[in-house]
Structure 1
């Protein structure tokens, strides 16, 4: 089983590096799709601005507060995902900022390539390995499990009456 996992991981690292080479942008396609969906939702939001850095974004019946310098939104999606939420994107458009500049570095090509930079090396067939001189490991003896609770008193001890 471990051999199958090793081979599968060896192949996966190579496949994921090839996948990263196919990206047309510096961010993962999944992050760009989420950003595109959020951008479409941001077009339906109403913006109230305090002429500084605070924004109130109204989406349907919900009101969210966006703080651009701290990169926070009261919906918390931006902080959890690392991708600007629709409310932050609405504020970016109001300030004429590019939302792509605010995607977390965890979605970048460089980070992705660092993750998959360690290759698993091929190994000779197990049958070619020299026999081990170490003693074989024997599994422990199977013990019967007792009923949960206080263990029973065994041996020559008398039971105390309370």
Structure 2
């Protein structure tokens, strides 16, 4: 069973590394889809710039404060996912800055490639292991703890004494 699991992980790591090498952008495709959906939802917002990095976005009857320098929004989606929410994307679009700079570095291509760059090395067949000596492995010797051994009492006896 462990051999099957090891082989499955070997294949999965290699496949993910090869797929990441083919990505054209610095952001993975699934994160790009999330950004496009959020950008579609937030394209009708008109953010009000309060400072160089602070915005106020009106979404229906609620207002959200977006701080681009801290990568935060009052809705909390940006902090949890690492991907800018629809409110933040409206602000980024208003400033006309690239979105890639506001995506968490854990979600970028370089980090993904580092994650899957380590290999699980193949292991030759057990019959080819010439240097391995197979001695019998025994369980560890049970040692007696110093002092009188504790007696185990049943709960009924304890309840009757009270």
TM-score normalised over the length of structure 1 = 0.79
Q: How many residue pairs align between the two structures? A: 149
Q: If each structure's helix is expressed as a fraction of its own residues, which one has the higher value?
A: 2
SS at match of 2:92: helix
* Corresponding residue of 1:133: 134
Q: Distance in 2 between matches of 1:137 and 1:80?
A: 49
The 5 Å alignment of 1:121-160 reads 121-129=121-129, 132-136=133-137, 152=154
SS at match of 1:46: coil
What CA deviation, in whole Å up to 9, does each residue of 1:76-131 have, x standing for no partner?
11111111111011111222222222111112221111111111111112344457
8 A Cα contact 1:56 1:64, kept in partner: yes
What CA deviation, in whole Å up to 9, does each residue of 1:28-75 have, x standing for no partner?
111111111111111132322324432111222332110112121011
* Corresponding residue of 1:16: 16
Unaligned 5+ runs, structure 2: 140-151
SS at match of 2:161: coil
Higher mean Cα deviation, 121-130 or 102-111?
121-130
Unaligned 5+ runs, structure 1: 139-149
* Corresponding residue of 1:145: none
TM-score normalised over the length of structure 2 = 0.79
The 5 Å alignment of 1:6-155 reads 6-129=6-129, 132-136=133-137, 152=154
SS at match of 2:48: strand
Q: Distance in 1 between matches of 2:92 and 2:50?
A: 14
Query: CA separation of 1:158/1:50 partners in 2, compared to 1, >3 Å: closer, same or farther?
Result: closer
